[in-house]
Amino acid sequence: MDTHGEKRGIFAKKGLWIGIGAALFILIAFILPTPESLVEVMEEYGYVDKMIEWEIAHNIEEASQKTMIVLGIVPMAVVFFAVEALPIGVTGLLMPLLAYFFGLLPFNMIGKTFAGDAPLFMLGVFALGATVVEVGFHKRLAVWLLGWTKGFWVPMIVLCISMSMVGSFLSAPAMCSFMVPVLMAVYYGSVEASSTEGKVVHDPALAKFLLFSLCFSLNMGGPGTPSAGGRNVIMMGFFNNYDIPITYYGWMKYGWPLVPIGGAMVLLYMTTLFSKKIKTRDLTPGLEYIKDETRKMGKMTYPEYVTGAMLFLIVLLWIFGGEATGLGGPALLALVVPVLFKTVQFEKILKRISFNAWFMYCGALTLGALLKESGGALWLAKTFLNGLAHVNMDQGYGLWVGMSGFSGFVTNFMSDAATVALIGPIVVPMGIMTGVAGEPWAIGMAVALASSYAHFLVVGSPTNALTFALGVYPDTNKRVLETIDFVKYGFGLFVLSMALLWLLEFLVVYNLVGFPDGILEQATQVLQSAKQ
């Protein structure tokens, strides 16, 4: 499943990109002087003391050098991930490897960053998708969702709008894990029907159109509700810390208007990019192929009933289990239930799991932890905030735009939850200190909503990683997407997504919904009491 697509031109020169990435790392980590502002942040917020306590540094010079090494890893990792200078799984493994050899974290912490709840969640989601496909349950799901549609545009409209809505309530990675094989089956049936020479003539533009439409639509569902992702729940927790809680429905009033419009925007954007490149203009044969395959399967079988029940149970636990079960616990059921109930052999599940993509995602989490624990991420955030103050964007609309833009950009490099966990403690007090009514909620929501738009790097979200890993041609098992495709097609959508947030959310929704009276005063009291 991890057969690399062929690269052409400059992107095929892997040695060149390895050299560029290594050069950037050496330049930042060992040649450029340490900014004085970085040292000040590390001292003020206790990062130096923490590193000394952890015994990974003995003084401020050694501590700041460790942080510079972390900052040097970032551009190198971006280059390696974007052009696949090394296999993406190897690049992921470089993150803990460098952390070990340069002593960037205590040894026992490094392993936790690489194999915590989120990596186990990803592993379980991979297994869930493998089981759904192995028993053929994905075909029935496709018929239930898309079986009534015909042509080209109706299926695509239904796909983009429905996936953005579903992704706002349920786990987007779980939906992605079994919808990607569905779309590839629809794709194959469509191109097979349009091939006239007895040999299937592939239409790569159509395959990418389908996969990115699914992936980006699921990402666009992120702002909708608290259950769409941990990032939203984390921000709700920060609001609670200042005695200005927001309810589930209260969050929806601000976030959900972005969801269906975001799904429609994905369709228009992808159509603009791919319309002239797509050769196969009718998805009806592919949809009929799925329906025929489902009819041949007959009534639902025992393995399908078990798989359906397992899927339902896992989703329920994700929604209602909370901290008691986490995300990884329910997801791991997908590795155990099929074996216990003898529906799918364990070896077959393992063969369908893309460990290359899994190692990549684990490495991205380690990099995010390195940025957070070293003080590098906080320094970047404060540097950005200082820049906003210089251009009079330190309150109101300017502050919302600036901090949401920073949040959206950063979330492509580290997990959305880590992004909000990093920026939230800074921006909520900032909102309080502006003295503008409603500002604590306004700036906090701005940061959380923007963290859903991780479109332009494959490591930006689990949905991106799953789409990349599972999107393979059914007849050759070759991968449809390359990591650089996310940059090529995702960055433009990222810009549009931010524009949607800035125009629709900040100028329309914020004004229509408004903010409750008294939240600024209440949060100010909490902040002042904490200072005292």
Helix axis angle for 376-390 and 60-83, nearest 10°, is 80
Which of 365, 388, 373, 368 shows the shortest CA–CA distance to 45?
Answer: 373
Residue 221 near residue 172 (C-beta atoms within 8 A): yes
- Rounded Cα distance, 98 and 338, in Å: 37
- Specify which residues 479 forms β-bridges with: 472
Q: What is the distance in angstroms between the CA of the first residue and the CA of the last residue of the chain?
A: 58
What pLDDT sits at residue 7?
55
Residue 330 near residue 318 (C-beta atoms within 8 A): yes
Number of domains in the chain: 1
Residue type, 500: L
What pLDDT sits at residue 5?
45
pLDDT digits (tens, 9 = 90+) for 188-244: 989 988 887 778 889 999 999 999 999 999 999 999 988 676 678 778 877 887 788
- Specify which residues 3 forms β-bridges with: 478
Residue 60 near residue 106 (C-beta atoms within 8 A): no
- What distance lies between CA 129 and its chain's CA centroid? 17
Q: Which residue stretches of the chain have pLDDT < 70? A: 1-9, 11, 170-171, 227, 229-230, 319, 322-323, 327, 415, 418, 422, 425, 527, 529-532
DSSP state of 324: G
Does 480 reside within a domain? no
Does 401 reside within a domain? no
What pLDDT sits at residue 65?
95
**φ, ψ at 3 (rounded to 5°):** -65, 125
Residue 124 near residue 275 (C-beta atoms within 8 A): no
What pLDDT sits at residue 294?
76
Residue 327 near residue 118 (C-beta atoms within 8 A): yes
Which of 168, 166, 180 shows the shortest CA–CA distance to 138?
Answer: 180
Which of 152, 246, 146 shows the shortest CA–CA distance to 194?
Answer: 152
Does 507 reside within a domain? no
Residue 358 near residue 126 (C-beta atoms within 8 A): yes
- Rounded Cα distance, 126 and 122, in Å: 6
Residue 266 near residue 210 (C-beta atoms within 8 A): no
Spatial neighbors of 510 by CB under 8 A, at least 6 apart, are 254, 442
- Rounded Cα distance, 32 and 38, in Å: 13
pLDDT digits (tens, 9 = 90+) for 370-389: 887 888 877 877 787 778 77
Does 418 reside within a domain? no
Q: Quote the domain boundaries for residue 351.
A: 118-229+243-358
Cα torsion angle, 491, 492, 497, 499, sign: positive
Q: Which two tokens stand for residue 4?
A: 């690399």
Does 351 reside within a domain? yes
What pLDDT sits at residue 319?
67
Which of 364, 462, 369, 415 shows the shortest CA–CA distance to 124?
Answer: 462
What pLDDT sits at residue 170?
67
Spatial neighbors of 290 by CB under 8 A, at least 6 apart, are 139, 142, 143, 146, 147, 182, 185, 186, 189
- Rounded Cα distance, 169 and 477, in Å: 32
pTM of the model: 0.74
Does 451 reside within a domain? no
Say how many C-beta atoms besides its own lie within 10 A of residue 53's C-beta: 11
Does 73 reside within a domain? no
Cα angle 152-453-446, degrees, rounded to a multiple of 5: 130
Rounded-to-10 torsion of CA 430, 433, 438, 442: -10
- Specify which residues 472 forms β-bridges with: 479
Does 82 reside within a domain? no
